[in-house]
Amino acid sequence: MTRPITNRSLVYRMVSFLLLSLLSVASWADVAVISQQTLIDKMANNTPLLILDVRSPEEYSEGHVPSAINIPHTEVKQQLSLIKQAAKDGKQIVVYCRSGRRAGYAEEVLQASGIQSLLHLEGDMIAWSKNNQPIEQ
C-alpha cells in the first residue's frame, strides 16, 4: 500500500533535493577564484601557470584566453598525467569554460586526483569576453 503524498512530504522531498543540489555545487566552492585582472597580472609577470580551457575544440578555436590549452572537460581524466606534471612543476592550474559548469566538473576530477593548486577564472569566458579582455585565436 502506498501512502499519499502530502504537502509535508512534498516539502520534505523538495528541501532534500535542494540540499543535495547545494552540496554537489559546494564541492566546486573549494576551488579558489582568480579575478580576471589577477590572471592578466600573473601572465604579465610570467607566473608559472597552466591555463586550462575545458570547452569544446570548436569553442576554443573561436577564441580563448591567451596561452590557454584546450582539454575538453570530457577528456580531463585522460589527460591527468599532463595536468599533474604541470602542478608538480609548480604551475597554478587555472580552469575555465564558457559559464562555469564544465569547469566545475573538471575541477572535481582534478581535485579527486589530488591536484591542489587549482584556480577558477572568475566569470569564465562569458565575462572575459564581455570585459574585452585579450583573446587569442
| Catalytic residue IDs | 97
Nearest to 53 by CA among 91, 25, 93: 93
To 5 degrees, how large is the angle CA 20–CA 100–CA 36?
A: 135
Max alpha carbon distance in the chain (Å)?
69
Q: Are 133 and 96 in contact (CB under 8 A)?
A: no
Beta bridge partners of 133: none
CA distance 61 to 135: 11
